[in-house]
Amino acid sequence: MKECSTPAQIKACRALALERNRQLFEDAHALNRAAYELLEADNLDLEQFEHYRALRRKADAKFEEAIDHLCVLNEDFPPIPMSPHHSQELRRQLETVE
């Protein structure tokens, strides 16, 4: 992915990678919610509890994958620093909100 050379290309690659990372975290959260929903069911038996544990393991693995992905993403595509003008404009906007 480092073949992206212009700032616009880098920004587009980073945006795509961030979207993929968001999806990884979303998938992990969905697995986590599904696991906890099993615990809330009436008459939880051993088979359901084992299914809960399997879902939790999958969720943990997905969270780990998302965190690793984010680390690589930040190494390959560090955030592009704001221009001084944009930074000052953002500061003015934030000061007017307060």
- Segments in the chain forming alpha helices (H): 7-40, 46-76, 84-97
Full-model pTM:
0.71
- pLDDT 10s per residue in the chain (98 long)? 445 468 888 888 889 999 999 999 999 999 999 999 999 988 889 999 999 999 999 999 999 999 999 999 988 877 766 666 666 665 666 566 54
Contact call for residues 80 and 11 (beta carbons, < 8 A) = yes
Q: How many CB atoms lie within 10 A of CB 25?
A: 16
Tokens standing for residue 83: 């221009």
